[in-house]
Amino acid sequence: MIRAWFLLCLTLITCRAQELPDGITAGNDYTSIPIPAARYQIYLIGEFHGAQETKSFLAGYLVGLHRQVGLRDVALEEDQVYQTAARDYVDGKTTELPSALCLRADVLNTVRRFNDSVPANQRILVHLIDIDSPLRAIRQHLADVKDSLGAGTVVIPDEQSVREMGYELIDQMRPLARDSATNAELDTIRSSIEANREGVEIGISLSDTKGNVLVEAREKAIARNMLTVLKNSARGVALGFYGGIHVRKRPLSLPFENGQMFDYKSLAVRLMEAGVSVASISCEALSGSTSWRGMNRPLPPQAGNYRVSQHLTMEEVIAKVPTAEFFWLESAKQPALSFSVTNQNLAEIFDFVLFIKDATPMQNTCAPAEP
């Protein structure tokens, strides 16, 4: 009787799994998401900003990539000036993070917990590959490099003067920079100043953020630093965790001030142009709510707007496995995957898409913005 009941349950489970089209995986355990059979050099996760589930996905995918491809390097969308502090934190050398890293505290905690679970020679090394912003971060980075070089004759001025004198300060320190890592830092600082001169300031809250944050100076710096991470990786593989727009594999035109358009080339596109094999992974929330940069946002139901095929929407896919928290789609097996609101074929833009059925706000450790 028990054997018959077991076989019946197994049959029901198998039939339920067979209801899903090829290339779609449903589940509740993010460690069960399949790692691509093809070996990529860089895996780019395009997070849905402010959704806690993207961090849960990162935690699970980190385990799989570490086990199957030997991942040791993770690059994050944060100011390079705070890289040493982030590394000390994930390695357990300190229990505190700079307040400027509050938006990435949950991600860094994910890496810290992982590093606590493995031997020292298998730990993840984090890389912060973004430009420094606002001006106080640029000034701090200049001061840090000056100290590391022992450049006692270089005088670091106040924040506003850094904007005008920054290039000159970099030129003063460049001859003292004998290693590639320090030269790369100086390159990032230069790009940071260039972006600031173009009116870009990136703060913790949206109210503190100004200008076109996708400015060319920033995008070039991100790609350059990501290539450096890959070049220095002992395993020849890296994971990047960035906003979704950065991981798309197609350029696009975007509106900016006064209705003007500008051509945007993403991190993924720049890496591919450099000859790097990239796995582009987009996280999409179908409903729920998020919290990002001081803004709480409810999400209208979107499952009906995503089409797996002409005759099947994500809403119908969810109905087949209603208890699943996420759905993982492989674009190679679902080439018609599209979003009707923008009339985009997502299968042409991303290699994989993680659909989060019901997003919840991320764990926010940032202090409230000053009025």
Residue 16 has pLDDT above 70, yes or no: no
The pLDDT of 304-327, averaged and rounded, is: 96
Among 10-24, 62-76, 100-114, whose mean pLDDT is lowest? 10-24
Q: Which helix (H) or strand (E) holds 190?
A: helix 180-197
**How distant, in Å, are the alpha carbons of 103, 160, 182, 337, 356 from that of 340?**
31, 46, 47, 10, 18
**How distant, in Å, are the alpha carbons of 25, 64, 66 from that of 324?**
10, 20, 25
The pLDDT of 301-313, averaged and rounded, is: 95
Structure tokens at 92: 């357990």
Comparing CA positions, the residue from 138, 141, 132 lying closest to residue 77 is 132
Q: Tell me the pTM.
A: 0.93
pLDDT at 365: 87
Taking only the tens place, the pLDDT of each residue in 56-86 is 999 999 999 999 999 999 999 999 999 999 9
Residue 18 has pLDDT above 50, yes or no: no
**How distant, in Å, are the alpha carbons of 30, 80, 101, 194, 288 from that of 131?**
31, 6, 14, 10, 31
Name the band, by pLDDT with cuts 50, 70 and 90, for residue 11.
very low
CB 129 within 8 A of CB 80: yes
The pLDDT of 16-43, averaged and rounded, is: 90
pLDDT at 195: 98
| Higher-pLDDT residue of 305, 17 | 305
CB 201 within 8 A of CB 209: yes
Taking only the tens place, the pLDDT of each residue in 164-222 is 999 999 999 999 999 999 999 999 999 999 999 999 999 999 999 999 999 999 999 99
The pLDDT of 291-307, averaged and rounded, is: 95
- Looking only at the bridges linking them, the beta strands covering 261-264 and 252-255 are antiparallel
Name the band, by pLDDT with cuts 50, 70 and 90, for residue 20.
very high
Q: How far is CA 347 from the centre of its chain?
A: 19
CA distance 53 to 56: 5
